[in-house]
A and B are shown apart, each in its own frame.
Chain A
Amino acid sequence: MMRKTVILILLCCLSIGVQAINPRDSLSAGFGKPCYTLKIGAAYAYNRSLESMGNFHVQTLLPFHSNIEMIAGIGLSTANIYSGRIVIRPKVDFRVGELYWDAIFDYRSIVRDNQWNCAMALAMGYRMDYLNLQIGWCGRVMNFYPTYDATLSACEWEKFNLLYRLEIYCRPQRCRWNLMFCATDYDDFVIERMAQPLFLVNGRYDIDNHWRVEAEAEMKPTGMMHMNATFYGAMFKVGFSYQF
């Protein structure tokens, strides 16, 4: 019953289109159309566990084909944490919006704690001018480095975790500037557990057809599902993109 309702809602959304668009904001780092793009960002972050840190982030958008693209990124943190992510994204354009599927492979090396963790996710999303909704599954495996202690061989598996992302935009995606509000459980650096939401505000401005600047603020509360919510961390990121 639930599945039928979802399909019905999707069909309704698709049937009311008035013009073909290909919105490219947010994670895709595009400029209204998929082009090879390089995105570089720096962030100041604070959280209760690690305190202050600087994060650096490089991401590329590689649209190999009109229906498939790849996003690859690396993140470095002064807290001695390193991350790499690859997203393979098949997609289909509709008259209004874009239906896409993400296969995400995310690796984090938490050198400060002698551990690594690797998250794999499959998600489906639908992106329109003012809205992007993504939902999927994420699994995670984590362990200590064998160089730390070779006897610690048992990996820890977290097999099911819900991946979600809801983005709301103030303006159509092809506008020169836009503002986005987002609730999700993952960002450029980490895929969190489902009960640990992240709240983002992102603004971007396209200087010309090649250059874009953007700024993002992220807030991470903890204990929302404990009903004892309190502030845990925040991140402020600025960056630019260059479209080739």
Chain B
Amino acid sequence: MKRIYLVIIAFVSFLSACSFSDTRDIAGMLDGASPEVETRFRQSIQWNETHGCVSLKVPESYHVFVCADSHINSASTTYLQRFFRAYRSDTLSQFILHLGDLLQEPRTYNRFMDLYRTTYHETITKNCDTLFIAIGNHDLFFGQWKEYRALFHTSVYWFETVSQTEPNKRLDLYICLDSGEGSLGKGQIEWLEELLAQKSKEGYRHIIVFTHTPVFYHERLQGLSANYPLEETTALTALMTRYGVSLFMSGHEHLADESLYGGVKYLTLEAQKTAGNYCLLQVENCGVTTSLINAQ
């Protein structure tokens, strides 16, 4: 009996120790500190309806810089700075997609934005036209949805690229989903279906969906990292296939992974914090080419 008590005491002590962690919101295993996805979705859509969606004028062939899981803290920002510099020095680059988990330490959103502003000397517009963020689970820890919202306004949105030379010519559609808690929720799935049904008829070259949580669970990825529930996995993959999505990008797992399922390419990016690796999208008329770039 004594041993059982000792085990219980050790377990409770472990949980208590974890709860004092300043980087992981252990209490979130029982109930997340930020509003749940349905609320975030509603707030995002409200903001989108008020402010409209972004339409970027780009050349017909262009580059997009994509990274995931920067997990910046007060000490390590080198890889992120390198990434921003590479983006700035590429003459074909048009914008950045960040697939979530910007932060490792809470309350460092401003640090992230300072880095972005100082390494990329461009005034960020109200819509953040050149930096598009998908919210990650770490970005929601400790109730940080308020801070995220104050900076980036929305976690569920779409934007499009149009031709620089012919502004009426639509090029590509980008859709950002909020999967910060491993589920999209009913409202977001319905919104996604309506949006894809409408937009897939408008003649875009490519439809690219990006979010934080990957769809598949592969043995080479992190053991305890969460995915969507199985019902949502099939619902989501069915939508991607039905509406001819070209590419689905995610992060979260910290290791690179690639699948072709239902005619859609599912790409999971390696964590930027590990070795600074990122992905370069070459978007052209003939297709979207993804190249994983080793920053070292």
Interface residue from A115, A151, A229 paired with B32 (Cβ < 8 Å): A229
Considering the chains assembled together, what is the distance between the CA atoms of A227 and B33 in angstroms? 9
CB-CB nearest in chain A for B24: A227
Contact between chains at B141 and A227 (CB < 8 Å): yes
Kindly list chain A residues whose C-beta atoms are within 8 Å of the C-beta of B235.
49-50, 113
> How many residue pairs at the A-B interface have CB separations less than 8 Å?
145
B218 CB–A CB distance under 8 Å: yes
Cβ-based interface call for A159 (8 A): yes
The winner among B37, B219, B262 for most chain A CB atoms within 10 A is: B262
Pick from A114, A149, A162, A196: contact of B230, CB under 8 Å: A196
Give every chain B residue within 8 A of A196 (Cβ-Cβ).
182, 226-227, 229-230
A228 part of interface (Cβ distance < 8 Å):
yes
- A228 to B234 CA separation, bound complex (whole angstroms): 22
Which B residues lie within 8 Å of A224 (CB)?
A: 29-30, 226
Tell which of B122-130, B162-170, B183-191, B267-275 binds the partner: B183-191
CA of A161 to CA of B219, assembled, Å: 7
Give the contacts of B7-47 with A (CB-CB under 8 A).
24-26, 28-34, 36-38
Task: Say yes or no: is B4 at the interface (Cβ < 8 Å to chain A).
Answer: no
Inter-chain CA distance A192–B228, complex, in Å, is 10
Count residues of chain A with CB under 8 A from any CB of chain B. Answer: 43
Indicate with 1 or 0, residue by residue over A15-56, a CB within 8 angstroms of chain B CB atoms: 000000000000000000000000000000001111100000
Say yes or no: A193 contacts B217, CB within 8 Å: yes
User: Are B223 and A230 interface neighbours, CB within 8 A?
Assistant: no
Q: Which residue of A lies closest to B261 (CB)?
A: A156
Residues of A close to B202: CB separation below 8 A: none
Task: Tell me if B263 is interfacial: C-beta within 8 Å of chain A.
Answer: yes
Inter-subunit contact B181/A230 (CB<8 Å): yes
Q: Whole-angstrom distance between the alpha carbons of A192 and B25 in the complex?
A: 24
Which residues from chain B contact A134 at a C-beta distance below 8 Å?
A: none
**B224 close to A (CB within 8 Å):** yes
Contacts of A112 in B (CB 8 A): 238
Closest residue to A158 on the B side, CB-wise? B217
B181 touches A154 (CB 8 A): no
- B230 neighbours in A (Cβ, 8 Å): 117, 190, 192-193, 196
Measured in the bound complex, the distance between the Cα atoms of B53 and A44 in whole Å is 40
Bound complex: CA A64 to CA B217 (Å): 36
Whether, in the assembled complex, B241 has its beta carbon less than 8 Å from a beta carbon of chain A, the answer is: yes
**Chain B CB within 8 A of A194 CB:** yes
Q: Is A203 an interface residue (CB 8 A)?
A: no
A residues in contact with B33, CB < 8 Å = 228
Which 3 A-B pairs give the minimum distances between C-beta atoms?
Answer: A223-B181, A160-B219, A228-B32
Give 18 A-B contacts (CB < 8 Å), ordered by A residue: A49-B231, A113-B234, A113-B238, A115-B238, A152-B263, A156-B216, A190-B230, A190-B231, A196-B230, A222-B181, A223-B32, A223-B137, A223-B180, A225-B29, A226-B137, A229-B31, A229-B181, A233-B229
7 more A-B contacts (CB under 8 A) besides A49-B186, A144-B262?
A113-B235, A142-B234, A143-B261, A193-B217, A223-B180, A228-B180, A232-B183
